[in-house]
Amino acid sequence: MRPRQRRTRQAVTGVALAALVGSGLVVAAAAPSSATQDGSRTWSVTGPGAPGAARLTADVDLDAAGDLHLAVERGGTPVLLPGRLGITTDEHDLTTGLRLVDRRERTVHESYRMTTGKQLDRSATMREATLTFQGADGARLGVVLRVSDDGIAYRYLLDEPGQVTVTQEASTFDLPADAKAWVQPYQPSYETERTETTAAAANEAQPKTCDGDTCSFGYPTLFKTGGSYVLLTEADVDGRYSGSHLDHQDGSSAYRVALAEDAPVTSQGPLATPWRTAIVGGLDTVVGSTLVDDLAPPSKIKDTSWIRPGMDDWSWLSDGSSPGNFERQKDFVDYAAQHGLEYTLVDAGWQASWVPELVRYARAKGVDILLWFDWNALRTQAQRDAWLPKVKAWGVVGVKVDYMYSDTQSTFQWYDAILRDTAEQHLMIDFHGATIPRGLQRTWPQVTSVEAVRGEENGQNPTRDIFLAFTRNVVGSMDYTPTWFSRPGRKDTLARELALPVVFESGWTSLGDKPEGFAAQPVAERYLEQLPTAWDETRLVSGGPEQQPAGDRQAVIARRSADRWFVGGILAGASDTMKAPLGFLGKGSWLLETIGDTDGGLQRTVRTVTAADTLEVPSAENGGFAAVACPAAKGRTDCEQPVVTAPATSLTLDPASTTAAPGASVPVGASFVLPQGGTLRHVRMTLDRDRLPAGWTATGQDVTRGSLRAGEELTGDWTVTVGKDQPGGSVEVPVWVEYANPAGGNAPPVHVEQILRVAIPLHGTAYASDQPFLTEANGWGPVERDQSNGETGSGDGHPLTIGGTVYDKGLGMNATAKVTIDIQGRCTRFEAHVGVDDENAGKGSVTFTVLGDGRQLAATGVLKGGAAAVDLSADTTGVQTLTLSVGDGGDGNAFDHADWGTAALTCAD
Reduce the secondary structure of 377-441 to three states and give it as a string.
HCCCHHHHHHHHHHHHHHCCCEEEEECCCCCCHHHHHHHHHHHHHHHHHCCEEEECCCCCCCCHH
- Beta strands in 445-496, from DSSP E residues, in sequence order: 447-450
**pLDDT confidence of 29, banded at 50, 70, 90?**
very low
CATH of the domain at 730: 2.60.40.10
- Domain co-membership, 755 together with 895: no
| Full DSSP string of 794-817 | TT----EEETTEEESSEEEEESSE
**Cα separation of the two ends of the chain:** 63
Residues contacting residue 831 through CB under 8 Å, at least 6 positions apart: 871, 872, 873, 902, 903, 904, 906
Please give the pLDDT value at position 39. Answer: 56
| Full DSSP string of 842-877 | T--EEEEEEEETTEEEEE---EETTSPPEEEEEE-T
**pLDDT confidence of 13, banded at 50, 70, 90?**
very low
CA distance 182 to 192: 12
Radius of gyration of the chain (CA): 31
Report yes or no on 3 lying in a domain: no
Report yes or no on 824 lying in a domain: yes
Instruction: Provide the whole-model pTM.
Output: 0.92
Report yes or no on 593 lying in a domain: no
CA distance 659 to 654: 13
**150, 236, 402, 597: the active-site residue:** 402
Sheet of 34-35, strand order: 34-35, 41-46, 56-62, 68-74, 77-85, 172-174, 254-259, 244-249, 214-217
**pLDDT confidence of 42, banded at 50, 70, 90?**
very high
CA distance 451 to 97: 42
Residues contacting residue 535 through CB under 8 Å, at least 6 positions apart: 117, 118, 119, 120, 505, 559, 560, 561
CA angle 341, 345, 351 (to 5 degrees): 140
Please give the pLDDT value at position 35. Answer: 55
Q: Please, are residues 593 and 498 in contact by the beta-carbon 8 Å criterion?
A: no
CA distance 632 to 644: 23
Report yes or no on 872 lying in a domain: yes
Report yes or no on 412 lying in a domain: no
Pairing of strands 750-760, 697-699: unpaired
3-state secondary structure of 358: helix
CA distance 160 to 164: 7
- Domain co-membership, 726 together with 809: no
Residue 374 scores a pLDDT above 60: yes
Q: How far is CA 858 from the centre of its chain?
A: 46
- Domain co-membership, 747 together with 781: no
Burial class (CB in 10 A: 0-12, 13-18, 19+), 191: middle
- Domain co-membership, 179 together with 290: yes
CA distance 440 to 47: 25
Please give the pLDDT value at position 216. Answer: 96
Q: What is the mean pLDDT of the chain?
A: 94
Residue among 535, 555, 541, 553 nearest 469 (CA): 555
Share of the chain above pLDDT 90, in %: 90
Please give the pLDDT value at position 49. Answer: 85
Rounded mean pLDDT of 400-404? 97
CATH of the domain at 784: 2.60.120.1060
- Domain co-membership, 162 together with 33: yes
**pLDDT confidence of 293, banded at 50, 70, 90?**
very high
- Domain co-membership, 59 together with 204: yes
Q: Please, are residues 237 and 429 in contact by the beta-carbon 8 Å criterion?
A: no
- Domain co-membership, 688 together with 806: no
- Domain co-membership, 716 together with 820: no
- Tell me the pLDDT tens digit for each residue of 563-618: 999 999 999 999 999 999 999 999 999 999 999 999 989 999 999 999 999 999 99
Phi then psi dihedrals of residue 506, to 5 deg: -155, 130
CA distance 733 to 356: 13
Residues contacting residue 830 through CB under 8 Å, at least 6 positions apart: 768, 850, 857, 858, 873, 874, 876, 882, 903, 904, 905, 906
Residue among 504, 493, 502 nearest 573 (CA): 493
- Domain co-membership, 34 together with 182: yes
Residue 721 scores a pLDDT above 60: yes
Report yes or no on 622 lying in a domain: no
Rounded mean pLDDT of 643-665? 96
The dihedral of CA 381, 387, 393, 398: what is its sign? negative
Residue among 482, 535, 538 nearest 510 (CA): 482
Rounded mean pLDDT of 196-209? 88
Report yes or no on 462 lying in a domain: no
Residue among 743, 740, 604 nearest 680 (CA): 740
**pLDDT confidence of 28, banded at 50, 70, 90?**
very low
Known active-site residue 73: no
Domain boundary among 247, 263, 294: 294
Give the number of other CB atoms < 10 A from CB of residue 39. Answer: 11
Domain boundary among 745, 760, 775: 760
Residue among 774, 771, 798 nearest 907 (CA): 771
Q: Please, are residues 28 and 130 in contact by the beta-carbon 8 Å criterion?
A: no
Rounded mean pLDDT of 627-633? 97
Known active-site residue 402: yes
CA distance 44 to 335: 58
| Full DSSP string of 682-702 | EEEEEE-GGGSPTT-EEE---
- Between 160 and 165, name the one with better pLDDT: 165
Mark residue 285 as left, alpha or beta (left: phi above 0; alpha: psi -120 to 50; beta: remaining): alpha
Report yes or no on 693 lying in a domain: yes
CA distance 875 to 830: 7
Please give the pLDDT value at position 795. Answer: 81
Rounded mean pLDDT of 69-97? 97
Please give the pLDDT value at position 710. Answer: 96
Rounded mean pLDDT of 349-376? 96
**63, 191, 334, 457: the active-site residue:** 457
- Domain co-membership, 676 together with 801: no
Phi then psi dihedrals of residue 466, to 5 deg: -65, -45
Residue among 459, 456, 449, 461 nearest 402 (CA): 449
Please give the pLDDT value at position 52. Answer: 75
CA distance 285 to 291: 10
Buried residues in 682-693 as b, exposed as e (16+ CB within 10 A)? ebbbbbeeeebe
Domain boundary among 252, 274, 294: 294
Please give the pLDDT value at position 36. Answer: 52
DSSP 8-class letter at 185: B
- Domain co-membership, 741 together with 803: no
> Following CA atoms 759, 760, 765, 767 in sequence, which dihedral angle do they give, to the nearest 10 degrees?
-50
CA distance 563 to 117: 17
Q: Please, are residues 899 and 806 in contact by the beta-carbon 8 Å criterion?
A: no
- Tell me the pLDDT tens digit for each residue of 460-501: 999 999 999 999 999 999 999 999 999 999 999 999 999 999
Where is average pLDDT lowest: 205-214, 410-419, 687-696, 874-883? 205-214
Please give the pLDDT value at position 746. Answer: 85
Residues contacting residue 1 through CB under 8 Å, at least 6 positions apart: none
Give the number of other CB atoms < 10 A from CB of residue 746. Answer: 10
Residue 21 scores a pLDDT above 90: no
Please give the pLDDT value at position 33. Answer: 54
Rounded mean pLDDT of 747-769? 95
Please give the pLDDT value at position 34. Answer: 58
> Which amino acid, 722?
V
| Full DSSP string of 193-225 | PPEEEETTTGGGGS-S--BTTEEEEPSSEEEEE
Q: Please, are residues 335 and 313 in contact by the beta-carbon 8 Å criterion?
A: yes
> Which amino acid, 651?
L
CA angle 477, 478, 479 (to 5 degrees): 125
CA distance 882 to 762: 13
3-state secondary structure of 497: helix
Residue 191 scores a pLDDT above 90: yes
CATH of the domain at 245: 2.70.98.10
Using omega within 30 degrees of 0 as the cis cutoff, is the peptide bond preceding 270 cis? yes
311 membership: H or E segment, kind and range: strand 310-314
**pLDDT confidence of 205, banded at 50, 70, 90?**
confident
Q: Give the domain extent around 241.
A: 14-294
The tally of domains found in the chain comes to 3
Q: Please, are residues 737 and 719 in contact by the beta-carbon 8 Å criterion?
A: no
- Domain co-membership, 752 together with 834: no
Residue 254 scores a pLDDT above 50: yes
